[in-house]
Structure 1
């Protein structure tokens, strides 16, 4: 890719190339590349009129809406930093994000269900001593003295204002707050080369282009949703459909109606889709063509089931810190590679596996994964995190363990904290979860180590039964594990059967909340199911 490209130039270039072709669809509303370019320019002009400019943060606290895409592009056009925030965050997390980002402009809605979303944001702004230059709402009925209506999609730039230049390629343009599965939100600072590469990688590896339609099923404020809804269309000419929220029946309807060809996200979405297609096999539905499934918790069996119904699916390894893409299987990859490996290193990416002493290990030797490449973050907003995770040569410590082949294929065995050490024997939580996902009555599983007086750690499992199934008993689950010929040390000795697992907005299981619930934290809502 061209290292001089600026993300702030993408929309006008896309409009010049693809003009009246559909860029993005939300419900019955569809906008062309030219329309999104014009709308974002009108928003950019209004931001400048309010004094927002280069380096300022523009925060969008919204559920999936077209306004997130338009406001992000508008921010880039004036050199500001687009800062989409997932609306799953409440004041506990939101207060920290506001204090860290100190936004010059905010965009929200008055209400989100029963939540007074704008009031929550206002409380956080006041507590942090932050006075934005402008507060926008997305809906006309919510505008008032303090909150202005965001320029609408039919508004055109009035002219007469000279906008600042987009940020230089090496400067921050996108800030995302990620809590992952273990900690409070971290501010991830990305620049033009990283986000442009993140979008184009889907063309490089899967051939996604003008003939394709993607489905943004994750929150658009999350890297997976943002890629599908914004970055991939802007960089490849593909169109996008945004789902308001995850509903597998609605997703299948949209995929069929719009002939959607690709999507990406957590394994939980793929699982729902595969099960829905299996149930409706005889309806002649258009099946989603490609699905990129993030995380080592994607069971190989799930990729194989997807293949059986005509869907190309692949495990992949990604993170917000790498603009969503660390590995991605090429389109021609075999089923075995897609099911049992977590993708091939993306173009321009390097991986180095380190041993306990910090020294590099040979190929196909398990250790701590460090990576570097153009797609990596500029850094966190927290300098302490930068010192802890990024060395002087630009190697980023992912906190994950795995191995890499000589030709760049990676396999993840879990987070460093997800390696269970039972009496000196170390094994991966993900490996145990994969076995549990084979159980016919198990919908989801999460496994982690818990303290054991004699062995150091023992294995604890949280299980969600299938909706139509009788919840399996600990004895039945233990017998099943034994029938799978796994090492006895891997069989959980502590079982919890619950209604659902706590997850991040992107669908990743939050094991730190499960640990807290196990330790008696009543604030964590993990409801057990009686046998």
Structure 2
């Protein structure tokens, strides 16, 4: 067991600046066992083109999986990673880990060698679950290629594999083991439950730690604000390896009376079919999904009468889109929410019939968080004044895996520095006006500009590089790379750069979509690149083209 992941609430970030904790003090495994006993045939999660996941069925699978992991020597506090799509096996693993007191480490399926190697090295995970193939990519081959640099990785567990691969274990074989019948002794709701990586301004992802209690509190905040009950089905197109999908997809049915519905990947026609097929009533996801849903509804006249809530976050949400959703979809209230992996669901939107304007023009009503606005000297600013948004609350992360990163991210009195600039309105809503962190939010995913720049700098013909956000019609933001080249460089187009990015094994969603070659980059007196000027230059160039 790695001590770094075994810390409990005693070292929680912001523990001194806290609202009443309001924790359930129970584990996912406890809730799952109760539901399996009281309602074994009840539907927990709907799947596309497959029988739904029932409480009894998934708990039986999880107990057998836990038995297999136990027989492999896994014990409380061990880290087990998984890089799976929105499949039932991810749900079974979450429950099995809760039974044994393991720490789960979800890895987004679009990550490739560079990101996966770093995460597995940083967590010192003892095992990883991967699909044999998904969307044409060979995950087993990737992990096999990385294993020489991963001395702590003892087991590679292949999910939905047709063949046995050397040095791996088939998921199906683990299910043949004697099932675990009870929760491991000493597992506490205050223990670390999950380590999830998020992009940071330092380039390398940060290891965000949540306990069972902090994660459940984040889920309860949404359930309370949106009155989710037995008639609700949460459509979940976001990956379950992302904080949104993990909480509102996997865990929701076990801690509430609502169910969820998984999509393996977003496709608007399939989303409409699933919404209609299962009567989905809610969705928490990225802005592009709502844009496409509204556009298709406008084109086809489909009104989706079951859908009553659509919470958008992670990328810019145009006010006009919120207005259009309410007009085109029969009874759906779309709204903006605000949060992060570290501080999930700080705001919960506005759902009232008389709150459409607030839903469209603010980033949501603050719910069960203590939010302050600070100036550059950490002095509190009055309502309506722009400053850095800092937050504290019972759903705040325990901290990062690196204590120094935790200290840097917190105010002296225990509030998390979000890196966003904004203000609080008289309605107790947050309005984001700028970003302090050097992050690009592409389709709801945080991308580190510095990580992209580090790859660009490794190109033999690039002597200076800056990655900046640019407007993207569908994804909110895209990546534009400004580069200064060596004299006589052959590089001249984005297409010529792409093979190099592939060679560096940078995940494709981080690749620049635009390349600007400059003779020099604007800088401050201290030599820092003026990215604000680069963004303004992009806007001016695009406006000139449009005009």
TM band (smaller chain): 0.7 to 0.9
Q: Could you say what secondary structure the match of 2:141 adopts?
A: helix
Q: Spell out the pairing of 1:126-525 with structure 2 (5 A cutoff).
A: 126-132=148-154, 134-151=155-172, 158-159=178-179, 164-165=184-185, 167-179=187-199, 183-281=203-301, 283=302, 285-286=304-305, 288-295=307-314, 297-309=316-328, 310=330, 311-322=332-343, 324-332=344-352, 334-347=355-368, 349-405=369-425, 408-417=428-437, 462-464=470-472, 509=477, 513-516=479-482, 522=497, 523=501, 524-525=511-512
Extract unaligned runs of 5+ from structure 2: 1-21, 450-467, 486-491, 502-510, 516-541
Instruction: Check whether the contact 1:109–1:142 (CA below 8 A) recurs between aligned residues.
Output: no
Q: Is the 8 A contact 2:63 2:179 kept in 1?
A: no
TM-score, normalised relative to structure 1: 0.77
Partner residue of 1:74 out of 86, 96, 106 = 96
- Larger relative contact order (Cα-Cα within 8 Å, sequence gap ≥ 6): 2
Which segment is superposed worse, 377-386 or 514-523? Answer: 514-523
Cα distance per residue 1:458-507 (max 9 Å; x no partner):
xx984556xxxxxxxxxxxxxxxxxxxxxxxxxxxxxxxxxx7xxxxxx6
Work out whether 1:53 is the aligned partner of 2:19.
no
Aligned-residue CA RMSD in angstroms? 3.1
Q: Deviations over 1:123-154 (max 9, x none)?
A: 3332132232x32111141334422221489x
Do 1:72 and 1:83's aligned partners in 2 also have CA atoms closer than 8 Å?
no
What is the 5 A alignment of 1:59-98? 59-98=81-120
Give unpaired runs (5+ residues) of structure 1.
420-428, 434-445, 449-459, 466-499, 501-506
Instruction: Report the CA distance between 1:55 and its aligned residue.
Output: 0.8
SS at match of 2:137: coil
Distance 1:219 1:14 in 2: 24
Aligned-pair CA distance for 1:292: 0.4
What secondary structure does 1:234 align onto? helix
Q: What is the alpha-carbon distance in structure 1 between the residues aligned to residue 476 and residue 176 of structure 2?
A: 40
- Checking the alignment, whether the CA contact within 8 Å between 1:178 and 1:186 is kept in structure 2 is yes
C-alpha displacement of 1:5? 2.2
Q: State the partner residue of 1:119.
A: 141
Q: In 2, distance between residues paired with 1:115 and 1:152?
A: 23
- Is 394-403 or 176-185 further displaced after alignment? 176-185
Deviation at 1:63, TM superposition (A): 2.0
For residues 142-170 of structure 1, give each alpha carbon's deviation from its aligned partner in whole angstroms, at most 9, with x where no partner exists: 334422221489x5873588762363122
Q: Distance in 2 between matches of 1:35 and 1:193?
A: 25
Equivalent residue, structure 2, for 1:526: 513
Corresponding residue number in structure 2 for 1:31: 53
1:284/1:61 Cα in 2 relative to 1: closer, same or farther (>3 Å)?
closer
What SS is found at the alignment partner of 1:334? helix
Query: How many residues were matched structurally?
Result: 449
Kept after mapping to 2: 8 A contact 1:135/1:147: yes
Q: Structure 1 pair 98/192, CA: closer, same or farther in 2 (3 Å)?
A: same
Residue pair 2:84, 2:131 contacting (<8 A) in 1 also: yes
